[in-house]
């Protein structure tokens, strides 16, 4: 394997900007060098169109005037997608009723634009192959020791090959998420024979290891050989999207009799999937990527300065976002606007104390944190997000603004060019974070980019490095006057986090961006030229107050997902 086999990628995400400039001292010689589509992810597309950069794709998606004619080819590329680490864990859990966590043994997935399910990066390296093999051995032992009688009604120790064959004929569909061909079953039986030369148990173990190392297990195949995903591919796509896990027996039965391809059955199945508690995992996978809130568990904080930011609070804050987002999406039918205007969340006594807000019980017995008395709005206004986007001892206005531009507005920003002499502000006593950062970013060379960043970041200074409301920073009164530069071709001044969230709630771009984020999640890849029209169409439906739940459904059932260029 040599270089140039992959047309990959620039990694995006906040990390790119962790060192973003906040001060400059040289004249601007900066010409942004857009990444070409060749360097971007172009999975499954044998002939990516040359020349269209990711930036240009985004421009088309967000252009005010539509450029899509009816009858446009919307089909997605045929794709294979390796299970993410979480999907692998959930799949094993659901197949074998496993409670132990295997994730520690599987390498972490790479992130692209926050998403961990990017099918171009999630491959099987030697290290992955070793990890899968070890994990499969571990699972095989447990299955043979404890679970076999749940999986088969025969004993391989007594009946040998015949029992194994029965097991395969009964269970392989569920493990591989598609029917096995006869020769595949014969190959597996031969493998059993090889192991059985030692003992029936060694044979059975070898077989289970093989089932769990097979491409049919490790990859989701979305080929759509007939131009459309087949019933099993479709069942698998649905369950990994809504559950982040493998299809259950009922879904596979609907695939087996083909009824899943009928609209009424499909619609009923989707409602069932969304109602099932497992749907929490699917919704969480999106929320973690979109809001990056789970960084709150690990982000550095100065313990002397913030003694309240304990490890228990970190966990509760992550839980708050996870619970709230899940309830909004699956139970309350929230739309994008209500995600941005939210002024309550699900929490407990400890969080109420942390935030300094009242706690109330709602009609369903949930305990709600009431933020009405604080200038805090929107799911991204929760402390899990704001604390993640801060330094250990002070806020990070740049990081916060870059998050808003990238995650909530789907803008592509580029890091400062090397020719620019950047001087981040030195720590200084008696100056607020804003004063220090502003002094360095008002200079000409940096202004071009930072006009998009600073006005937004400074406007959120009413929340401290651990996400609590504040009025004083380093002995100076907080100035949270902000400017939302060029959102939907408008520049609006605002005061504090709440008003910014209100601007986002109204923003056409933010709504479309949200649809685009779900599109990325569903497809497991970064958008390309061929996706523009589908994303625009889904984005346009957001304007009429489409619920997130319906957006999920419409994204996965859209022709741009089900139809494939095989």
Partner 1 sequence: MRSWTRSLDRRRLLQKSSLALVAWPLMKVLSEERALAAPMQKRAIFWYFPDGIIKPLFHPQETGSQFTLPAMTQALERVKSDIIMLKGIDYKTEGSHEGGAAYCLTGMPQNKPGLSLDTVLGQRIGTGSPLPVVRLGVGSNFQRNGSVSFYAPGIPSVIEDHPAQAFYGLFGKSQAPVDPDTQAKIMRGEKSLLDLAKSQLQSLSLDLNATEKQKLNVHLEALRELERRVQASVPIDSERLSTCTNQVDMRGLSFPEQETNYPPMVHRNELYATIGDIMMDMAYQVLACGISHVLYFQWSHPVSPTQFDFPGSPGIHRGHHDISHYGGDIKSSYAAEFVACQSWYMERLARFIERLGATQDGSRSLLANTSLLALTEIADANLHDFTNAGLILAGQAGGAWKTGRSLELSGTSHNQLLVSILQAMGQSDETFGDPRLGRGALPGLFTT
**Shortest gap between Cβ of 319 and partner 1 (angstroms)?**
12
Instruction: Quote the tokens at residue 253.
Output: 């039965």
Residue 439 token pair = 């002094």
The count of other CB atoms within 10 Å of the CB of residue 175 is 20
Tokens 């071009």 belong to 448
Q: Which C-beta is closer to partner 1: that of 251 or that of 296?
A: 296
Helix (H) or strand (E) holding 192: helix 182-196
Query: Which residue, 136 or 542, is less far from partner 1 as judged by CB?
Result: 136
- Provide the minimum distance between the beta carbon of 155 and partner 1 in the complex, in angstroms, as a whole number: 20
Q: How far is C-alpha 207 from the geometric centre of its chain's CA atoms? A: 34
- Pick 333 or 448: Cβ nearer partner 1: 448
Give the residue with the Cβ less far from partner 1, 4 or 361.
Answer: 4
**Minimum distance from residue 20 beta carbon to partner 1 (Å):** 8
**Residue 63: exposed, middle, or buried by beta-carbon count in 10 A (0-12, 13-18, 19+)?**
exposed
Is the Cβ of residue 94 or residue 302 nearer to partner 1 in the bound state? 302
Considering beta carbons, is residue 47 or 65 the nearer one to partner 1? 47
Closest to partner 1 by CB, 110 vs 486, is: 110
Give me the least distance between CB of 67 and partner 1, in Å please: 26
Nearest C-alpha neighbor of 108 from the set 98, 96, 121, 92: 121
The DSSP bridge pattern shows strands 79-82 and 219-222 to be: antiparallel
Indicate the DSSP class of residue 333. Answer: -
Smallest gap from Cβ 532 to partner 1, in A, equals 20
The distance of closest approach from Cβ of residue 534 to partner 1 in the complex, given in angstroms and rounded to an integer, is 20
Provide the minimum distance between the beta carbon of 550 and partner 1 in the complex, in angstroms, as a whole number. Answer: 31
Element (H, E) at 172: helix 161-176
* Minimum distance, C-beta of residue 368 to partner 1, in the bound complex (Å): 26
Spatial distance between the Cα atoms of 13 and 504, rounded to a whole number of angstroms? 20
Distance in Å, CB of 153 to partner 1, minimum: 26
Nearest distance from residue 137's CB to partner 1, in Å? Answer: 4
Residue closer to partner 1 (CB basis): 133 or 490: 133
- Residue 129 to residue 152: CA distance in whole angstroms: 28
Shortest separation between residue 544's beta carbon and partner 1, angstroms: 37
Cβ proximity to partner 1: between 105 and 159 the closer is 105
Residue number, 90 or 122, with CB nearest to partner 1: 122
Residue among 549, 522, 514, 551 at smallest CA distance from 329: 549
Inter-helix orientation angle 249-256/263-275, to 10°:
170
End-to-end CA gap in the chain? 25
- How many of the other CB atoms lie within 10 Å of CB of 537? 18
Separation of alpha carbons 355 and 468, rounded Å: 6
Cβ(348)–Cβ(316) below 8 Å: yes
On whether the CB atoms of residues 126 and 532 are closer than 8 A, the answer is no
Nearer to partner 1, 78 or 516 (CB): 78
In the bound state with partner 1, the residue whose beta carbon lies nearer, of 123 and 472, is 123
Check if the beta carbon of residue 208 is closer than 8 Å to that of residue 139.
Answer: yes
* Residue in the block written with tokens 């759509």: 224
In 3D space, the residue among 116, 3, 49 whose CA is nearest the CA of residue 520 turns out to be 116
Distances (CA, A) of 389 to 103, 384, 402, 563: 26, 9, 10, 39
For residues 252 and 49, give the distance between their C-alpha atoms in angstroms, rounded to a whole number.
Answer: 37
- At 269 the three-state DSSP class reads helix
Write down the least CB distance from residue 365 to partner 1, Å: 28
């Amino acid at each position: 394997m040599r270089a140039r086999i992959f047309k990959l990628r620039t990694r995006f995400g906040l990390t790119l900007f962790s060192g973003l400039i906040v001060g400059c001292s040289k004249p601007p010689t900066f010409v942004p060098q857009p990444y070409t589509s060749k360097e971007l992810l172009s999975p499954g597309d044998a002939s990516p169109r040359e020349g269209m950069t990711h930036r240009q794709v985004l421009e088309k998606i967000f252009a005010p005037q539509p450029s899509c004619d009816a009858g446009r080819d919307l089909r997605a590329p045929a794709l294979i997608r390796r299970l993410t680490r979480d999907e692998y864990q959930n799949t094993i859990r659901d197949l074998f009723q496993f409670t132990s966590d295997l994730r520690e043994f599987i390498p972490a997935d790479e992130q692209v634009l926050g998403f961990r399910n990017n099918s171009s990066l999630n491959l099987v390296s030697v290290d992955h192959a070793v990890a899968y093999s070890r994990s499969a051995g571990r699972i095989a032992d447990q299955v043979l020791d404890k679970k076999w009688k749940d999986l088969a009604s025969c004993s391989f120790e007594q009946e040998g090959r015949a029992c194994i064959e029965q097991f395969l004929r009964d269970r392989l569909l569920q493990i591989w998420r598609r029917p096995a061909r006869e020769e595949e079953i014969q190959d597996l039986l031969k493998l059993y024979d090889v192991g059985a030369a030692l003992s029936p148990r060694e044979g059975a173990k070898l077989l289970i290891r093989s089932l769990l190392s097979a491409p049919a297990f490790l990859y989701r195949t979305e080929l759509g050989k007939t131009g459309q995903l087949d019933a099993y591919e479709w069942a698998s796509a649905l369950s990994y999207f809504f559950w982040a896990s493998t299809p259950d027996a009922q879904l596979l039965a609907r695939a087996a009799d083909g009824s899943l391809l009928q609209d009424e059955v499909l619609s009923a199945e989707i409602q069932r999937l969304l109602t099932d508690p497992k749907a929490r995992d699917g919704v969480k996978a999106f929320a973690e990527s979109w809001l990056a809130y789970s960084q709150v568990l690990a982000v550095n904080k100065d313990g002397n300065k913030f003694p309240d930011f304990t490890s228990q609070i970190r966990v509760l804050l992550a839980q708050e976002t996870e619970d709230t987002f899940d309830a909004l999406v699956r139970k309350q039918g929230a739309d994008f606007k209500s995600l941005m205007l939210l002024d309550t969340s699900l929490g407990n006594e400890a969080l109420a104390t942390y935030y300094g807000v009242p706690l109330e019980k709602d009609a369903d017995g949930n305990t709600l944190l009431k933020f009405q008395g604080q200038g805090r709005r929107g799911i991204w206004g929760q402390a899990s997000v704001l604390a993640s986007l801060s330094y250990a001892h002070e806020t990070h206005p740049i990081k916060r603004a870059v998050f808003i531009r990238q995650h909530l507005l789907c803008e592509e920003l580029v890091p400062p060019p090397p020719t620019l002499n950047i001087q981040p502000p030195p720590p200084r006593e008696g100056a607020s974070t804003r004063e220090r950062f502003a002094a360095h970013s008002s200079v000409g060379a940096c202004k071009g980019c930072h006009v998009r960043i600073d006005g937004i970041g400074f406007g959120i200074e009413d929340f401290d490095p651990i996400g609590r409301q504040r009025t004083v920073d380093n002995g100076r009164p907080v100035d949270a006057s902000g400017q939302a530069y060029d959102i939907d071709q408008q520049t609006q001044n605002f005061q504090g986090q709440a008003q910014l969230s209100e601007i986002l709630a109204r923003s056409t771009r933010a709504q479309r961006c949200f649809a685009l984020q779900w599109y990325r999640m569903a497809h497991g890849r970064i958008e390309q030229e061929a996706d523009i029209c589908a994303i625009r169409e889904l984005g346009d439906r957001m304007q009429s107050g489409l619920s997130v739940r319906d957006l999920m459904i419409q994204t996965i059932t859209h022709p741009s997902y089900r139809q494939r260029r095989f």
